């Protein structure tokens, strides 16, 4: 029989994720999915795609600020790990037990930085892109020149495929933790509460 977290003296239940980061997480999910779907499947006039793109830009701006001044668990300095720590965590990731990590674990941290980096690049290229249709032109396209604006569209489309891959990996990782490691990562992002080790060292 699996031991319950409240029966383990080495664990504690803490309010890990603050309301702002939880709202950010779910709002970003909605806006990214909507923008990606509208970009891939239309309509031809991308007004709604742009609006959701602007929303993503605003959310990313918030996350960058919150990563500097927000609560400890969401600050970037809290989940920048050394290669040694990352490799140590990765070597034990297949163990069939929860990690009870206090915040983003080292592998999850890499995914966070990868997603943020791709999304920032995606927003930037969207703002600068010119698909040469005289309609769906980014508001900054005229400032970067025609060649750069055309290149931005090509990069924007490539990044859309990379983003899809990263999202699929993220969803698969959440499912892996739930089904294999018996650790629910979704509920804490809804309630804010999570069982973690009393010591921050693994």
What pLDDT digit, counting tens, does each position of 83-137 carry? 999 999 999 999 999 999 999 999 999 999 999 999 999 999 999 999 988 789 9
Where are the chain's structural domains?
Answer: 14-196
Asked whether residue 4 carries a pLDDT value surpassing 90, the answer given is no
Q: How many CB atoms lie within 10 A of CB 165?
A: 10
Report whether 11 contacts 197 (CB < 8 A).
Answer: yes
Of 198, 34, 194, 167, nearest to 104 (Cα)?
194
Instruction: Reply yes or no on whether the pLDDT at 34 is more than 50.
Output: yes
Residue 65 pLDDT exceeds 60 = yes
- Residue 3 has a pLDDT of 62
CA torsion sign, 162 to 165 to 171 to 173? Answer: negative
Quick one: pLDDT band at residue 201, thresholds 50, 70, 90? very low
Confidence of residue 198 (pLDDT cuts 50, 70, 90): confident
* pTM greater than the 0.75 cutoff: yes
Q: What is the CATH number of domain 14-196?
A: 1.20.950.20
Q: CA dihedral defined by 101, 21, 19, 108, rounded to 10 degrees?
A: -20
The better pLDDT of the pair 13, 42 is held by 13
* Tens-digit pLDDT profile for residues 49-64: 999 999 999 999 999 9
């Amino acid at each position: 029989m699996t031991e319950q977290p409240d029966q383990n003296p080495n664990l504690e239940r803490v309010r890990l994720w603050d309301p702002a980061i939880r709202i950010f997480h779910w709002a970003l999910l909605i806006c990214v999915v909507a923008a990606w779907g509208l970009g891939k499947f239309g309509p031809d006039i991308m007004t709604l795609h742009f609006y959701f793109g602007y929303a993503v830009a605003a959310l990313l701006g918030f996350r960058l600020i919150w990563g500097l001044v927000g609560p400890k668990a969401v600050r970037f300095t809290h989940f920048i790990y050394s290669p040694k720590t990352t490799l140590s965590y990765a070597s034990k990731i297949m163990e069939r037990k929860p990690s009870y990590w206090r915040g983003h674990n080292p592998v999850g941290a890499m995914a966070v930085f990868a997603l943020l980096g791709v999304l920032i690049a995606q927003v930037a290229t969207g703002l600068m892109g010119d698909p040469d249709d005289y309609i769906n032109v980014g508001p900054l396209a005229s400032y970067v020149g025609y060649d750069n604006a055309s290149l931005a569209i090509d990069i924007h489309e490539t990044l859309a495929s990379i983003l899809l891959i990263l999202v699929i990996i993220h969803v698969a990782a959440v499912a892996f933790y739930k089904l294999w490691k018996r650790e629910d990562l979704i509920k804490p992002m809804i309630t804010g509460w999570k069982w973690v080790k009393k010591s921050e060292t693994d």
